[in-house]
Structure 1
């Protein structure tokens, strides 16, 4: 649940007429409907008409009896969702307090209405927490203790803190009590949540999944006679494949970050098992000046110099906002100027939006990236924006579990506009994805990241000191890459300078963190 995701959410059309998503009249009608017998006749006139027909037909003979029987049979209410007749919560009134951050409105505008239609006896009250608690588990926990929401939607570091402190209910226990299972969700993601929870239990579930894959413009490959990738590829193999487009008039691979050429080096090295920063007894040290890192730098530098790696200019945004079509027109991959790009699953949503806007017209697919067993960035290949969890002190755990199960199962997606952000995101429930476009998203589910390592990295990298450390790493790495390309500084010299400068900044960060 990153902040930029909220910018997508604002693209959703139509807000409810009142804050809770319903007019009072609509809420009353839905609540009355659940109490109806689903076999009630449609109207008295139907019965009256049937009786009149029977009187008339009696004179015509007994052979019409079967038609009369069918005519008089009470008709089922086809306008009442089938789920209502099987609602396990229908016999009791519930009122759940549900937390969401100020920057997010997914509960208010996406989940609340369809959940209420299925469970009219459950009222959801949205309790908004300040955004500045998002990255601070201790402050969020203090808010949580004071407010006592029944259900929360939080990032992984907050989830890990609440679970470790015994503040969340075991969803394994709730699932078993309600005769449900978690098999529909992507198994590695569930394992990731178990690991982040600390003791092997699942204390939260996710509706979305984040990952990274290789995006392939199939038309570019075909136009230049290069065979499409067959199976997963390591980052080293991706760079080798990209080099085949040298001199073809198009680039083989787009840079990972338009404003920082070092980002591709970091991604390739870390996916291959190389470490950027090591921590020993609380002290952080740079680990960048090595022969293995030099090899990665050399390959990427050659790609930039020879033109088979494309470094597009940063996107130009309009003063009054920028549409996805305008962004797509500045994207080399979407325009067929680049054969491949390595990006997160967020980019999948961009491309789907470009397609909707008529900008992306090429055939494209995704390919899994093969990670080294010791890859140090596995959280980039397996994770989630938001985790939904139940307060261990909730007195309405059955209703809270029903809400979490509904949100993470993806049933709400059926009624969404196909152009909306929530519709085109990567879902934790793979079966809820659009099978017709499977070649564009299946690779995200096939990348073999280690759930334990991904969870550990995600929690660690979310800490303030690691955020500062990584910010320094990328800023200094970008400077050294520019020095190599623009000033012909030798790679050996640049790596030595990067190591020394980063260590100095890591030492300062370490001092700040100490009491």
Structure 2
């Protein structure tokens, strides 16, 4: 059989690609070799242009890039391939299947592993203070009330999130958008933003801090927001522990933000080697590949195969995580770039630090966020407009 050169577009350097996927594929497909293109795209739009230029056979990417490729209709519908292959939708995590379909209900991507954040808690510290353990689907307000009860105990209430991180998570959980597309400006929900800011500004350093997993493992924090790779480490500790789902919006407890697919794999419509690309994708998603993929995951990711999702961590029951619906609403709104989000988050961190140092109110802090946010957004719009004037007539069409 002649060798097939498969073009793969991904975020991976060559060595990393081979460690995670390439060596596994070559063991099963010895007549395949790779033309690897490492993405240098700074934005989803740039990634889409790359795919248009390089015409890869396989794309391995993350959520924001995948959504842009979906929006531009650049990925093949995998359903016809599945009908003639061995993969069945019903064998996989329903939220993966639902989340990777386009607006026409076509399945245009697959992901072999799902990444999960949870709230780990030290039962021994809770028992010592006679405090009830956290439970699944608690709101941020409820989790923070638990964290506050450890003030003065010598242990931090909650680690793994800075105050800015908590604010961001509350905003995400409530689905608060700030883009007024019609007027091309920012619009803040005064009531919800003020309440979220007040919640965060009331926190003390021994109640919530970024902290590291090592400090939690040393028993210096009652709770820690982290990924599932914590489980094997905790099994070696002397204290009793548990894990629950991450906090949610109290008015929408069935939705969760902290489950995501790190590597989403699709076949572009203009791929030359679609059939072999599908055979490889089908193998990556198979039961035979699971052990290899999990062994190479540094996040403790879980297979998206339903019959595997509660097996990886033995006695640790993860079923509550799989019962929630992944909240697909984008942070801050659909019409902002990743660069804007990064700048906005950095600005919020500055405002919160200044507010804590100067005892500013939530109302005053929101006014500062609004003013500084408008400047960031105006700069982004001006930059976009300038780039637009530099396009050729052919690019505009």
TM-score w.r.t. the length of structure 2 is: 0.81
Alignment match of 1:277 (pick from 178, 199, 212): 178
Alignment match of 2:197 (pick from 297, 300, 316): 297
Q: Is the 8 A contact 1:94 1:396 kept in 2?
A: no
> Secondary structure of the residue that 2:138 maps to in structure 1?
coil
| Distance across 2 between alignment mates of 1:203 and 1:145 | 16
2:148 corresponds to: 243
> Secondary structure of the residue that 1:133 maps to in structure 2?
coil
Q: Is the 8 A contact 2:115 2:300 kept in 1?
A: no
1:511 aligns with 2:360: no
Q: Is the 8 A contact 2:113 2:301 kept in 1?
A: yes
1:135 aligns with 2:8: no
Give runs of aligned pairs for residues 102-113 of structure 1, distance below 5 A. 102-103=12-13, 105=15, 107-113=17-23
Q: Is the 8 A contact 1:364 1:440 kept in 2?
A: no
Deviation at 1:474, TM superposition (A): 1.9
User: Which has the higher Rg, Structure 1 or Structure 2?
Assistant: 1
| Distance across 1 between alignment mates of 2:93 and 2:105 | 17
1:191 corresponds to: 98
1:407 corresponds to: 284
2:126 corresponds to: 221
Deviation at 1:187, TM superposition (A): 0.6
- Alignment CA distance shift 1:217-1:162 (3 Å): same
Deviation at 1:127, TM superposition (A): 1.8
Q: Is the 8 A contact 1:217 1:362 kept in 2?
A: yes
1:348 corresponds to: 228
Q: Is the 8 A contact 2:343 2:376 kept in 1?
A: yes
2:395 corresponds to: none
Deviation at 1:336, TM superposition (A): 1.3
2:4 corresponds to: 95
2:221 corresponds to: 338
Aligned residues between the structures: 382
Give runs of aligned pairs for residues 75-94 of structure 1, distance below 5 A. none
Q: Which has the higher strand share?
A: 2
| Distance across 2 between alignment mates of 1:141 and 1:436 | 37
Q: Which has the higher helix share?
A: 1
Alignment match of 2:111 (pick from 186, 200, 206): 206
Give runs of aligned pairs for residues 48-447 of structure 1, distance below 5 A. 95-99=4-8, 100-103=10-13, 105=15, 107-120=17-30, 123-133=31-41, 135-137=43-45, 139-194=46-101, 197-254=102-159, 256-257=161-162, 261-271=163-173, 273=174, 275=176, 277-281=178-182, 283-287=184-188, 290-304=190-204, 307-312=206-211, 328=213, 331-343=214-226, 347-349=227-229, 351-352=230-231, 354=233, 361-369=238-246, 371-372=248-249, 380-394=257-271, 396-409=273-286, 411-415=288-292, 418=295, 420-421=296-297, 424-433=300-309, 434-437=311-314, 439=316, 441-447=318-324
Deviation at 1:430, TM superposition (A): 4.6
Deviation at 1:285, TM superposition (A): 0.5
| Distance across 1 between alignment mates of 2:171 and 2:294 | 40
Deviation at 1:103, TM superposition (A): 2.9
Deviation at 1:229, TM superposition (A): 2.7
Q: Is the 8 A contact 2:175 2:332 kept in 1?
A: no
- Alignment CA distance shift 1:148-1:474 (3 Å): closer
Deviation at 1:107, TM superposition (A): 4.4
Q: Is the 8 A contact 1:366 1:442 kept in 2?
A: no
Q: Is the 8 A contact 1:278 1:286 kept in 2?
A: yes
- Alignment CA distance shift 1:202-1:460 (3 Å): farther
Deviation at 1:447, TM superposition (A): 3.3
| Distance across 1 between alignment mates of 2:124 and 2:90 | 37
1:484 aligns with 2:355: yes
| Distance across 2 between alignment mates of 1:220 and 1:156 | 37
Deviation at 1:167, TM superposition (A): 3.7
Alignment match of 1:473 (pick from 344, 347, 366): 344
TM-score w.r.t. the length of structure 1 is: 0.64
Deviation at 1:506, TM superposition (A): 1.7
Deviation at 1:220, TM superposition (A): 2.4
Unaligned runs of 5+ in 2: 389-397
- Alignment CA distance shift 1:161-1:268 (3 Å): closer
